[in-house]
Each structure stands twice: as C-alpha cells, then as structure tokens.
Amino acid sequence: MRQYFTARIAVALVVAASLQFTYKIAWADEPSVPVVLEDVAGRMVEGCVEFARQQDMQPISIAIVNKAGSMILFRRQPGANATSGEVALLKARSSARTGVPTSALLTEDAAVRDLFLLLKLTQIAGGVPVITDGKTIGAIGVSGELPISDAECAYHAIKAIETSTDD
C-alpha cells in the first residue's frame, strides 16, 4: 500500500514540475519581467568572492543563471576543484527553476530524490534564487567549500546587490 502512495506522490510531483517548467518556458521572453543583467551578476560574483576571501574559504566556482537556467556569468577561482563548476551551475539552475534555495529541497523520500535526479535538480545547499517583486528572475550557485559555506557565500552575493540598489 505504501508503494502505491509513494508512486502516486511521485507522479503528482512530475506533473506539477512539468507544469511549472512549461509555465516558465512559455513566459521566458516576457518583456515586463526584470532579468539579471551582466553588471548585476558581476556585482554578485564580486560580493561572493569578497566574502570567500574574508572567510578564508577554499577556491570556489560561482554560476549566475537567468530564470530559465541559462548561464549569465561564471567564475572559477584558480585552484577550485574541477567538478565545482558543474556543481555550482547545477545549484544555480535548481534554485532558478524551483524558486527556492536548494537547501529547502532537502528530503529523505527516495521517490522525491529520484524525481530530482530525473529533473536534474539538486538539494545540496549553495543555490539561492534572485527574487525581484516576488518573482524569481535568476539564481546563484556556489560550490567548492562545505555546502553550508557555499550557501552563506551565495546569500552574501544576494545581499551585495540588495545593498547596492539601496544606495
């Protein structure tokens, strides 16, 4: 009986995710929705790099994507693990596509984890959405350090653009 309900939950999540994905594709070129511009992405990267330097973090990779998951800007620090770039991009895309930090996707349910693999989503901390006027317009993904440190760096990058727009 439990397998029956787990399978139904998995099917429901696939349907919900595909509807959300379809919606995002249909409106990807909507002109009235703000986007993450390259200069904003640059300030995010610099904010994250500065935080990493202050915290004496290991070399990291940083990926900034738009709401559809297409890369806007990427930086891999010298000495960063070779796979950290791919992981940073996966974290950014996961956060952009779901509209929540990747750490919020954490689950113990095997069926949901399998669904995440199918949809190419991760639940590893370090992906944070960029939200403007209540809408996800992109995301940042950071990798190379412990996931909690990656997430702190990503949040610091978001804070860097929030404070720069307040000036």
Q: Could you read off the pLDDT of 111-120 as tens digits, one per residue?
A: 888 888 889 9
How would you classify the pairing of strands 127-132 and 71-76? unpaired
Is the confidence at residue 124, as pLDDT, over 80? Answer: yes
Q: If you average pLDDT over residues 49-54, what whole number do you get? A: 96
Entry pTM: 0.77
Q: What is the pLDDT of residue 107?
A: 87
Is the confidence at residue 77, as pLDDT, over 80? Answer: yes
Q: If you average pLDDT over residues 78-88, what whole number do you get? A: 95
How far apart (Å, rounded) are the C-alpha atoms in residues 164 and 166? Answer: 5
SS (H, E, C) 109-148: CHHHHHHHHHCCCCCCCCEEEEEECCEEEEEEEEECCCHH
Helix, strand and coil in the chain, % to nearest 5: 55, 15, 30
In the chain, the domains with their CATH numbers are 2-166 (3.30.450.150)
How would you classify the pairing of strands 61-66 and 135-143? antiparallel
Average per-residue pLDDT in the chain?
A: 83
Q: What is the pLDDT of residue 19?
A: 45
Q: What is the pLDDT of residue 2?
A: 54
Is the confidence at residue 33, as pLDDT, over 60? Answer: no
